[in-house]
Structure 1
Amino acid sequence: MKLPVDELRDDILALNLSWVLADNIVCSNLSLDQMNDIDNTIVFITEASNQPASWANAKIGRWQITLEVQIFWSINADVNIQLAEVDLMKQLLEKGWLIQQSGSHTTDPDTQQITKTIYVTKNQAI
């Protein structure tokens, strides 16, 4: 079984998004170059929670996984950021991910880079 972050990365890669390179969809650890990259959009996926979701007859019935998806937009993004994010969330819903939270955009005061944080959840039978 794949780790949840790898499963979501595979789901996002399958979408063939025009606004992010495959190498810039990253799980768990960003390289120093990626941390400082404001010229390319980076999608950073980390695990937020991984816990039992339901019980039946004193046994775990389902497992809930919540992942944090941070999008660090290129300062020269050639896309409507809002529409791209909404489209991503719609497509993730179709792949079985529930959008738990879509945070507000923030702008780095030094670089002017826009970031977005989205939390997605999936319940899995075990």
Structure 2
Amino acid sequence: MLAILRAQQLMQNMKDSLLDEVYTNNLPIEEVDDTTRSVALITDVRSDLALPGNDDFHAQNKEIEVQIYYKLDGDDPDRFETRLKHLFINNGWVMTDNRGHTVDPETRQLTVTFYFTYFEIEN
């Protein structure tokens, strides 16, 4: 399964989520300037091969980027983000980076970007 789809499924099944929707690859055009909803965008970053000694791979490290755009005047996302990190880690992912919070200059929305990696063994 694609890492972005695995992550999307995980986030969509999260209880007590602040998110209205979780998208992969691209935000729909109607979401780009909508500041009334909190949405996440998951994109592929890279996939590295794990090479044993025979020049063939047996596993892949699949890294994704999770960007979250919070609705204007929404709740403090700190508790939600802590639960989200636990959700990924408890499901076999490793958090590789946290880019922190920024404010989108056009929409004034609070945003955050996380990077997670999933180690997938090939059958």
- The residue that corresponds to 2:37 in the other structure is 40
Normalised to the residue count of structure 2, the TM-score between the two structures is 0.91
Shift of 1:51: 2.2
* Contact 2:17-2:80 at 8 Å conserved across structures: no
1:20 aligns with 2:40: no
Letter matched to residue 103 of structure 1 = R
- The residue that corresponds to 1:115 in the other structure is 111
Shift of 1:110: 3.8
Letter matched to residue 118 of structure 1 = F
CA distance in 2, matches of 1:55, 1:35: 43
* Contact 1:55-1:62 at 8 Å conserved across structures: no
CA distance in 2, matches of 1:99, 1:58: 28
- The residue that corresponds to 2:83 in the other structure is 87
CA distance in 2, matches of 1:5, 1:17: 21
CA distance in 1, matches of 2:27, 2:106: 20
Shift of 1:54: 3.5
Normalised to the residue count of structure 1, the TM-score between the two structures is 0.89
- The residue that corresponds to 1:5 in the other structure is 4
Percent identity of the aligned residues? 23
What secondary structure sits across from 1:104 in the alignment? strand
**What whole-Å deviation, never above 9, does each CA across 1:46-98 have from its counterpart, x for those lacking one?**
000012033232221210100000000111212x2122111100111001111
Can you give the 5+ residue segments of structure 1 that lack an aligned partner in the other structure?
none
Letter matched to residue 94 of structure 1 = N
CA distance in 1, matches of 2:34, 2:89: 29
Can you give the 5+ residue segments of structure 2 that lack an aligned partner in the other structure?
none
Q: 2:69 aligns with which of 67, 72, 76?
A: 72
CA distance in 1, matches of 2:88, 2:31: 24
Letter matched to residue 99 of structure 1 = M
CA distance in 1, matches of 2:82, 2:17: 14
Letter matched to residue 70 of structure 1 = Q
